[in-house]
Structure 1
Amino acid sequence: MRVTRPLAIDARDPLDPIDRRTLTAFLSDVDIDDVHVVVVIPAYNEAEALPAVLAAMPDRLDGVAPTVIVVSDGSTDQTRAVALANGALCCETPINRGQGAALRLGYLAALRLGATYIGVIDADGQWSPEGLVSGLDYLTSGRADFVQGSRVLGSTIVGDPVRDLGVKVFATLISRMARVSVTDTSSGLRLFTATLAGKLRLDQPQYQSSELLISAAFAGARIQEFPVDMVKRLAGQSKKATNLLYGWYYGRAALRTYLRERWIAPS
């Protein structure tokens, strides 16, 4: 998956054939009006953890019920059935492509539905959906265009010192790359305006949180963080690579995004 057009353009006519077919099928099944806040949940075989995440979703975000879209990334378990049974919409791809591809598809769906704000939260339960309420306030009050929860400002009990060190290292590197001040570049809880999303070019199929953050910074977004608590996943197994491989792939995605935004295809 290599797509570098702004999301606003690709939402109207996706270049990627899987995005195009999946989005068309999803929209043909959706019959809702007055979409305001869309929460995208990327999920790959998360049927065990997903019910608790959806149950904790705030009833109101900016005064209205959020539209929750679970993007089932080629899941082979009951992720789709669980999502639908718990009141969410489900956009399901035929194959597993990676969290970045799943999120990008979710953003395209949110833009097509006419969202004003887009939130993101992981499906494993490590980040509480209640944080969406605090994060959204930064957007609705005009203080930010992009906001993310930070375990560094809050807390984490995951207990992986190598990952904790990596969070600090990448925060320093990406802050310098993008000329922003952030403490947690791989947060699983983020919100941003749909207007900003439409300007972004995203092509990383995996390890995409750095791409999103760097792209937002180069698009001129006002970026804020707020404290959140990160806990251990509720169920299932992590799909992330080992610490060494994860660091390599994550860093490579960050560097590619920086080169693209700074030199190859600047806005």
Structure 2
Amino acid sequence: MNDISLPRRPVIAVVIPCYKVTRQILGVIGAIGPEVQHIYVVDDHCPDGSGDVVAAQCRDARVTLLRHAVNQGVGGAVMSGYRAALAAGADLIVKIDGDGQMDPALLPAIVEPILAGQADYTKGNRFFNLEQIRQMPPLRLFGNAMLSLLNKLSSGYWNVFDPTNGYTAIHADVARQLPFAKISPRYFFETDMLFRLNTLHAVVIDVPMDAHYGDEASNLKISRIITEFAFKHVRNFAKRLFYNYYLRNMSLASIEAPLGLGLLLAGGSYGLWHWVHSARLDVPTPAGTVMLSGLSVLMGLQLLLAFLAYDIAAVPRRPIHRRQQGRILLLQD
């Protein structure tokens, strides 16, 4: 009689970064279901002693408390949790904030696309339900919408929205390939993760969710990070363009982007200079000059739109962790 080996139950670990969440953290831990085998609570040098509360009052045997001697930001806390989960042999790692805004009951829905082999990384999206987003503070709603547009351009994931959403799950095989030391450690963490995942050609999928806004205090200061976010988006876009269209591969889009930008800038500058010059002399701008400038601008816009169409179509669609598993099976055979 042939032995039939049943599929092993996936080991799921949850990482919870803690900073000023003393009132909510125990409730978050208590709501995590039995499908999770490990819970890593990372006290990111919390001034309120979140780690002390967990150590003194939490009786869940799945919980491991990690402490930072120096505050490293949410990204640094998550990376510490990732390292611990990988060392423990986790197959999937879920990140949940400790402030109670993310419902742990949604965890099966967050990990399902990865378990089904459809994605390498999943993240929550609070913009699916138009009725529910009315609960979101207007400033936060507008800010997330603008950041989502910038993120699509800088990360290359045109199919995802709500980039600052911290309810995420990742396959362990993909997490091992991330450059932990290079990922932005603070508020740009979630967005930078998407950029890093794109350089790996990982598949990212949004999962609809509702957010809960209570009495927690946000540590995010919009006025302080808006310049930082703009600079980092531009930096990541330039890196992604170089990595994907010049270093690793060359295509028609590699020509369309610089040629389109050059024509747009040259045509616009040429037309503006002649318009100012003609205005100073109080004479009409020659028709040929206007046509040459306008043609350059239109051709530049058309080439840039063609590049965007190519970039949108190039969103990764084949999970990389399945390709890696296939290679292992071939080596074993």
Q: TM-score per shorter chain, which class?
A: 0.7 to 0.9
Q: 1:140 maps to what in 2?
A: 115
Q: Matched residues in 1 for 2:92 and 2:16: separation?
A: 14
Alignment of 1:122-201 (within 5 A): 122-154=97-129, 155-156=132-133, 159-180=136-157, 181-201=159-179
Aligned to 1:229, what secondary structure does the other structure show? coil
Asked if structure 1 preserves the Cα contact closer than 8 Å seen for 2:155 and 2:236, the reply is no
Once the two structures are TM-superposed, the CA of residue 264 in structure 1 deviates from its matched residue by 7.4
* Structure (1 or 2) with the greater helix fraction: 2
Note if contact 2:111-2:169 (Cα within 8 Å) is conserved in structure 1.
yes
Q: Is the 8 A contact 2:155 2:240 kept in 1?
A: no
Question: Which entry has the higher C-alpha Rg, 1 or 2?
Answer: 2
Which of 71, 74, 83 is the aligned partner of 2:45? 74
Q: For residue 218 of structure 1, what is the aligned residue in structure 2?
A: 199
Question: Following the alignment from structure 1 to structure 2, what is the Cα–Cα distance between the partners of residues 165 and 256?
Answer: 23
Q: Check conservation: 1:57, 1:129, Cα contact below 8 A.
A: yes
Give the root-mean-square deviation of aligned CA atoms: 2.3
Return the TM-score normalized by structure 2.
0.63
- Per-residue deviation at 1:68? 0.7
| In structure 2, distance between residues paired with 1:159 and 1:127 | 13
Segments of structure 2 that go 5 or more residues without pairing to the other structure are: 1-8, 249-333
Which of 5, 8, 12 pairs up with 1:37?
A: 12
Question: Match of 1:77, as an amino acid?
Answer: D
Going by fraction, where is strand more abundant, 1 or 2?
1
Q: Are the equivalent residues in 2 in contact too, given 1:131–1:149 (CA < 8 A)?
A: no
Contact 1:35/1:67 (CA < 8 Å) preserved in 2? no
Contact between 1:80 and 1:92, CA under 8 Å: does it hold in 2? Answer: yes
What is the aligned-residue identity percentage?
Answer: 24
Residues in 1 aligned to 2:134 and 2:72: alpha-carbon distance in whole angstroms: 29
- What secondary structure is seen at the aligned counterpart in 1 of 2:206? strand
Moved over 6 A (4+): 264-267
What is the aligned residue count?
228
Q: Does 1:245 align with 2:224?
A: yes
> How many Å separate the matches in 2 of 1:199 and 1:226?
23
Shift of 1:82: 2.8
Any idea what SS the aligned residue of 1:109 has? helix
Counterparts in 2 of 1:261 and 1:114: CA distance versus 1, 3 Å:
farther
Higher normalized contact order (CA 8 Å, seq sep 6+, divided by chain length): 1
Cα shift readout 1:211-267 (whole Å, capped 9, x = no counterpart): 11121122111111111011114x5422111x2323333333444444455547978
**Do the aligned residues in 1 keep the contact of 2:25 with 2:50 (CA within 8 Å)?**
yes
Q: Structure 1 residues 157 and 120 mapped into 2: Cα distance closer, same or farther (>3 Å)? A: farther
Question: How far 1:119 sits from its partner (Å)?
Answer: 0.5
In the alignment, structure 1 segments of 5+ residues that lack a partner are 1-33
